[in-house]
């Protein structure tokens, strides 16, 4: 008979199994359906994993879902309703004291697994049923707030992606600047420039590792590990160099607001500096030619047209870009006023996304603290 499968990743990635999830479709025999059918209030845990830490992730089945069957590598815990609240159980299994019992007993070399006896013999602290339900209610309020902020972040990111696609190709324009380019590649008043025309390309370098006096100073020094695929700014670096290291090596200093683009490894990753920094030879510094381009605008343009860089850069061993690469990449530029407006709008969106991410971190931190106190009885719920 056709069934829906609740899989490992459904449990691993979610704390609540609801109707909104997209389940895999499969088929099962009558005996399998009898044995593995899921009911509302069941708690599922992952019983096999690549690492011991990932074992015993828990999720509660929050909705009644027709024809839903438990998939592989999962165990079903069906609480006795008169003694145990499902939501409380799922939360308690995530508490590190309980979770560590599973981690220490998970056996395996390449894969870790839990036996049924380990699951059956795990000890959990259990308050009265009414208190369990209250604790679960408090924690699920935090979960809902966390989920709302995550959804907001995703929505903002989609909105920003759409705006970037429109604004950086001229398909979408602010009315004061002219007509959008409906069926042309770019608007009539925009120009195509080579990257080497609109930006000064600056080389980086590494002070000798053999001379300790070059290292541990206060000049931030950027290596590829300091880049992030998502963040716009680099505000600090893992390593710092001294004035002497700076003077006696081939590195250069980029100013606040200037750009850096990775030339090896994750090719074409681009970031903007929040303060002056030196950098190594696996990246290039870009300083906008102020008559033609703004650093802020150039940052978003390079993010949008990143594929043009990566298409050119396929090297023999690993992808690389050289100084010549910048002669081959042509990008569309409006006038400086329009560049400013586009960069400001996208910058505001980035700032909003950052605020939401900070808010999310705070909520996650608060939830962690609450779980610690509520699930150990340090705070009792009246």
Q: What is the per-residue pLDDT for 264?
A: 85
Q: Can you list the residues of the chain whose pLDDT is less than 70?
A: 314-318
CB of 235 within 8 A of CB of 276? no
Across the strands, what pairs with 261?
270, 284
Residue pointed to by tokens 């509660």:
60
**Strand locations in the chain (E):** 2-6, 16-17, 24-27, 43-46, 48-49, 58-61, 68-70, 74-77, 112-113, 191-194, 199-203, 215-222, 233-234, 239-241, 253-254, 259-262, 270-273, 277-279, 283-288, 330-333
Spatial distance between the Cα atoms of 17 and 63, rounded to a whole number of angstroms: 7
Q: What is the per-residue pLDDT for 314?
A: 66
Q: What is the per-residue pLDDT for 174?
A: 97
CB atoms within 10 A of CB 254: 26
Main-chain dihedrals φ then ψ at residue 60, nearest 5 degrees: -105, 140
* Tokens, residue 42: 């069941």
Spatial distance between the Cα atoms of 343 and 91, rounded to a whole number of angstroms: 44
Q: What is the per-residue pLDDT for 193?
A: 98
* Tokens, residue 107: 């056996």
Q: What is the per-residue pLDDT for 317?
A: 53
Q: What is the per-residue pLDDT for 53?
A: 83
CB atoms within 10 A of CB 9: 11
Spatial distance between the Cα atoms of 287 and 306, rounded to a whole number of angstroms: 18
Spatial distance between the Cα atoms of 43 and 75, rounded to a whole number of angstroms: 8
Spatial distance between the Cα atoms of 12 and 52, rounded to a whole number of angstroms: 13
Q: What is the per-residue pLDDT for 315?
A: 56
Which helix (H) or strand (E) is 135 found in, with range?
helix 129-167
Cα Rg, the chain, nearest whole Å: 27
């Amino acid at each position: 008979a056709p069934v829906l499968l609740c899989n490992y990743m459904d449990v691993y990635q979610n704390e609540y199994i609801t109707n909104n999830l997209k389940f895999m479709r499969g088929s099962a025999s009558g005996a399998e359906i009898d044995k593995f059918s899921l009911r509302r209030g069941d708690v599922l845990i992952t019983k096999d994993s690549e690492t011991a830490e990932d074992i015993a992730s828990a999720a509660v089945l929050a909705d009644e879902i027709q024809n839903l069957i438990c998939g592989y590598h999962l165990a079903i815990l069906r609480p006795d309703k008169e003694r145990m609240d499902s939501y409380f159980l799922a939360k308690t299994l995530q508490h590190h004291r309980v979770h560590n019992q599973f981690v220490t007993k998970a056996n395996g070399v390449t894969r870790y697994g839990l036996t049924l006896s380990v699951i059956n013999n795990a000890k959990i602290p259990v308050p009265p049923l009414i208190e369990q339900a209250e604790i679960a209610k408090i924690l699920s309020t935090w979960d809902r707030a966390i989920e709302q902020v995550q959804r907001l972040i995703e929505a903002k990111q989609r909105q920003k992606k759409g705006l970037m696609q429109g604004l950086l190709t001229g398909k979408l324009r602010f009315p004061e600047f002219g007509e959008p380019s409906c069926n042309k590649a770019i608007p009539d008043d925009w120009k195509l420039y080579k990257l080497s025309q609109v930006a000064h390309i600056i080389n980086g370098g590494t002070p000798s590792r053999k001379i300790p006096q070059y290292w541990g100073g206060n000049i931030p020094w950027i290596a590829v590990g300091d880049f992030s695929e998502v963040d716009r700014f680099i505000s600090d670096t893992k390593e710092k160099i001294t004035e002497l290291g700076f003077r006696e090596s081939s590195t250069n200093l980029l100013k606040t607001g200037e750009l850096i683009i990775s030339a090896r490894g994750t090719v074409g990753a681009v970031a903007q500096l929040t303060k002056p920094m030196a950098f190594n030879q696996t990246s290039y510094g870009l300083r906008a030619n102020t008559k033609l381009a703004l650093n802020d605008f150039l940052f978003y343009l390079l993010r949008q047209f990143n594929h043009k860089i990566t298409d050119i850069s396929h090297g023999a061993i690993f992808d690389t870009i050289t100084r010549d690469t910048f002669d081959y990449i042509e990008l569309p530029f409006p006038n400086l006023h329009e560049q400013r407006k586009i960069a400001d709008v996208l910058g505001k969106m980035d700032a909003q996304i950052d605020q939401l991410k900070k808010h999310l971190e705070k909520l996650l931190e608060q939830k962690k603290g609450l779980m610690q106190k509520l699930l150990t009885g340090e705070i009792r719920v009246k």
